[in-house]
Structure 1
């Protein structure tokens, strides 16, 4: 298994992986495709195994008003047949060591039990517009002062309505 930046040639594989990993809709696939089509700066990596894209992770800018205040982690996905083998954890650990990521405040809307293993903590501020009460919104290296609504790249809105996390109201 190799971790590397995705290429133009394997973008279709990334989109297909995201569609299979998130079967309730195509939001994540449309989001990443919109990032690519619009030239939105993101940091992304794939895991390649026997010529197949088996895992993917991306980070995009987080905003406090017009100022970048960190990075949003997501989407992150692993092919079903490769889950529970530590591949997602390995990919996340790899990404967290990379230069554009390792010193930035990070935000993620995800499963707290998983992300807490990597140092993410429940986030009181900023407020996530997609998560009532910030129940699934976590951060790492976050020293945000004061309450504000964290901003996302425009593609998060143009890709459609984000799916609700299981258990969210």
Structure 2
């Protein structure tokens, strides 16, 4: 298994992976395709196994007003045949060590039990507009103390409505 930065040649494979990892939802694949089409900054990697993209992780800018205040981890996906084998954990550990990621405040909307293993903690501030009471909103290296609603790239709102499981890693 190899981890690679996403290049244009991998993009169709990433979109296909996202559709298979999130059955019944095109939100995640439409989101990443829109971010790519609109030239938005995305820090992203894939796991390759026998020339097949088996896992994907992306980070996009998080906003406090118009200023960048960190990065959102979303989405993260593992091909159904490779789930529950540590592939997603390995990819996340790799991403957390990368230069553009390792010093930034990070935010994720997902399963607390999974993300807490990597140092993420429940997030009180800022408030996530997609998660009532921040029940599944976690952060890493977050020092925010003032109350604000964290911003996302507009593509998060513009693509189809998120499925119930949007932002949650499937196991």
| Residues 63-104 of structure 1 deviation map (CA, whole Å, 9 limit, x = unaligned) | 000010000001000001111111100000000000000000
**95-104 vs 151-160, which deviates more?**
151-160
| TM-score w.r.t. length of structure 2 | 0.95
- The answer to whether the 8 A contact 1:130-1:162 is kept is no
| Residues 79-137 of structure 1 deviation map (CA, whole Å, 9 limit, x = unaligned) | 01111111100000000000000000000000100000000000000000000000000
Partner of 1:92: 92
Over 6 Å off, 4+ runs: none
Looking at structure 2, the residues matched to 94 and 127 of structure 1 have their Cα atoms a distance apart, in angstroms, of: 27
Helix, strand or coil at the partner of 2:37: helix
Partner of 2:124: 124
Structure 1 unaligned spans of 5+: none
Helix, strand or coil at the partner of 1:71: strand
Partner of 2:169: none
The answer on 1:36 being equivalent to 2:44 is no
Partner of 1:62: 62
How big is the alpha-carbon RMSD for the aligned residues of Structure 1 and Structure 2? 1.0
Looking at structure 2, the residues matched to 5 and 39 of structure 1 have their Cα atoms a distance apart, in angstroms, of: 16
| TM-score w.r.t. length of structure 1 | 0.96
Partner of 1:5: 5
Partner of 1:155: 155
Partner of 1:22: 22
Looking at structure 2, the residues matched to 77 and 93 of structure 1 have their Cα atoms a distance apart, in angstroms, of: 14
Structure 2 unaligned spans of 5+: 167-171
- The answer to whether the 8 A contact 1:109-1:138 is kept is yes
